[in-house]
Amino acid sequence: MSLSTRVSIYEMALHLIEGVGGVTARNLLVHFGSAENIFKAKKHQLLQLQGIGAKVSQSITENQNQLFQKAEKEIKDAERNGIQILFFLDEAYPKRLKQIDDAPIILYQKGNTNLNQDKTIAIVGTRQSTPYGKNFVEQLLLELKAYKPIIISGMAYGIDIIAHRESLKNEMPTVGVLANGLDTLYPSSHQNTAEQMIHHGGALITEFSLGTRPDAPRFPARNRITAALSDVVIVVESMKKGGAIITAQYANDYNREVFALPGNIGVSTSEGCNHLIKTHQAHLITSAEDIAYIMNWEKTSNTSHKKNLDLNHINLSDSEIAVIKFLFEKEEASLDEMCLLLGIPLNQMAVILLNLEMQDFINALPGKRFNLKTKLFIR
């Protein structure tokens, strides 16, 4: 897959506004329809929105030139470093990441991995890994190769880097999620592995602008991205507290399946995993078959069957049909996403979705997300 997405000056400027996170940025986009329209809005229009105070409205209306200069430099620097910039509405932006309320509106990517492939697995764990954990990762990835997943981790010492390197050994694409800008790599000792990952169909990604250092508060933010990108999160070894446990907690919040490798009691690197299993926050894992069973995965073949949409006997308005077709193509989408990409105002979209739900055509999911009911599909 070739990523040729170029973010606009307005989209990048929105990302760079101090005090505007993913939630506020999406609220602005839904209200005004595009990033360009946000910067054309009047101050009193901005102040009417929840979460927009005097400082943010001033940045948007009075400090535009400074923001646009920073945005242009960021885009040029990214191009010079071979970094793709994905905007929230781009086709290549990860659909799984769109499911979380505070998804970043900008994602930086180095490498051409399609982050919307069918199966994604995060493997995380302690930096103080043991031979027990290392041997398990080696065997697990050997078994997972038949299912052709993307393997995601955080490029850290210990279990993370073992997962990346074993993925390379088994010719599986692997993605590193960073807590810093992509113009540097942390830790730098993993530079050679990172280059191999990119060369062999993997990628490095982050939500952080170029020049951002890997300060402590950014690691939990990185962990939420790791969890959100994954169908499955596997904790291999972990202390009772640590980044891997935080990732597992995010994964449970996002309705992902969490697995943990059990270990001997009294061994500190297994305390976190044992606790996750004991408190029913994770499935016990001993092999790839455990994942396949829970996820109902089959080993990948080269043949696939595309379902077709049948609307011949359904009486719907043009707007309702547009929503149905959109959900058919996307499989699942948020309220905000449909408003933005279909150009339907929020209040009108709410009525359309309510009507479709009452007619039993769609499912309302957590986080203001929707999908089609299977009766609309024929093989």
Confidence of residue 69 (pLDDT cuts 50, 70, 90): very high
pLDDT in tens, 318-352: 888 889 888 888 778 888 888 888 888 888 998 99
Place of tokens 């990860």: 94
Same domain, 126 and 202: yes
- Domain membership of residue 134 as a residue range: 120-295
pLDDT at 362 over 80: yes
Answer yes or no: are the C-beta atoms of 338 and 319 closer than 8 Å.
no
Comparing 357 with 247, which gets the higher pLDDT?
247
The enclosing domain of 20 has a CATH number of: 1.10.150.20
Residue 371 sits at φ, ψ, to 5 deg, of: -145, 170
Q: How many CB atoms lie within 10 A of CB 341?
A: 13
Structure tokens at 329: 């193509």
What mean pLDDT, rounded, does the chain reach? 90
Q: Does residue 96 form part of some domain?
A: no
The radius of gyration of the chain's CA atoms, rounded to the nearest angstrom, is 22
Same domain, 145 and 271: yes
pLDDT at 5 over 60: no
Over residues 218-237, the mean pLDDT reads 97
- Going by C-alpha positions, the residue among 120, 136, 115, 122 that lies closest to residue 259 is 122
pLDDT at 104 over 60: yes
What is the pLDDT at residue 360? 85
Same domain, 313 and 291: no
pLDDT in tens, 106-136: 999 999 999 999 999 999 999 999 999 999 9
Comparing 310 with 26, which gets the higher pLDDT?
26
Cα dihedral 176, 84, 229, 104, rounded to 10, equals 120
User: How many structural domains are present in the chain?
Assistant: 3
Length of the chain: 379
CA distances from 3 to 107, 112, 175, 185 (A): 12, 6, 15, 21
The enclosing domain of 364 has a CATH number of: 1.10.10.10
pLDDT in tens, 269-323: 999 999 999 999 999 999 999 999 999 998 875 544 456 677 766 788 888 888 9
Q: Tell me the whole-structure pTM to 2 decimals.
A: 0.83
Same domain, 211 and 258: yes
pLDDT at 90 over 50: yes
Q: Does residue 110 form part of some domain?
A: no
Answer yes or no: are the C-beta atoms of 199 and 225 closer than 8 Å.
no
**Among residues 82, 105, 135, which one ends one of the domains?**
82
pLDDT at 246 over 60: yes
Structure tokens at 194: 């990172």
Confidence of residue 101 (pLDDT cuts 50, 70, 90): confident
* DSSP characters over 140-179: HHHHHGGG-PEEEE---TTHHHHHHHHHHHTT--EEEE-S
CA–CA distance, 109 with 128 (Å, rounded to integer): 28
Confidence of residue 376 (pLDDT cuts 50, 70, 90): low
* DSSP characters over 88-100: TTSTTS-TTGGGS
Same domain, 39 and 133: no
CA–CA distance, 8 with 29 (Å, rounded to integer): 14
What is the pLDDT at residue 336? 84
What is the pLDDT at residue 304? 46
Q: How many CB atoms lie within 10 A of CB 235?
A: 28
CA–CA distance, 370 with 231 (Å, rounded to integer): 18
Same domain, 177 and 278: yes
Same domain, 164 and 237: yes
Over residues 216-221, the mean pLDDT reads 93
Same domain, 78 and 129: no
Residue at 221: amino acid letter: A
Same domain, 239 and 155: yes
- Structure letter (DSSP) for residue 302: S
What is the pLDDT at residue 311? 72
- Going by C-alpha positions, the residue among 135, 86, 87 that lies closest to residue 263 is 135
Looking at the chain, the whole-number percentage of residues with pLDDT higher than 70 is 94
Confidence of residue 375 (pLDDT cuts 50, 70, 90): low
H/E stretch holding 73 reads: helix 64-80
Place of tokens 């993370």: 160
What is the pLDDT at residue 66? 92
Task: Walk across the sheet containing 203-206 and list its strands.
Answer: 84-87, 106-110, 203-206, 174-177, 150-153, 120-124, 232-235, 257-260, 283-284
The enclosing domain of 267 has a CATH number of: 3.40.50.450
Q: Which residues pair with 363 in a beta bridge?
A: 371
Comparing 358 with 77, which gets the higher pLDDT?
77
**Among residues 25, 60, 82, which one ends one of the domains?**
82
Q: Does residue 322 form part of some domain?
A: yes
Over residues 131-150, the mean pLDDT reads 96
83-92, 97-106, 221-230 — most confident range: 221-230
Same domain, 290 and 355: no
Strand 377-378 versus strand 308-309 pairing type: antiparallel
Same domain, 149 and 16: no
Over residues 340-368, the mean pLDDT reads 87
Same domain, 141 and 276: yes
CA–CA distance, 224 with 93 (Å, rounded to integer): 16
Question: In the chain, helix, strand, coil percent, each to 5?
Answer: 45, 15, 40
What is the pLDDT at residue 292? 95
Confidence of residue 193 (pLDDT cuts 50, 70, 90): very high
Q: Does residue 102 form part of some domain?
A: no
**Among residues 243, 265, 295, which one ends one of the domains?**
295
Residue at 343: amino acid letter: G
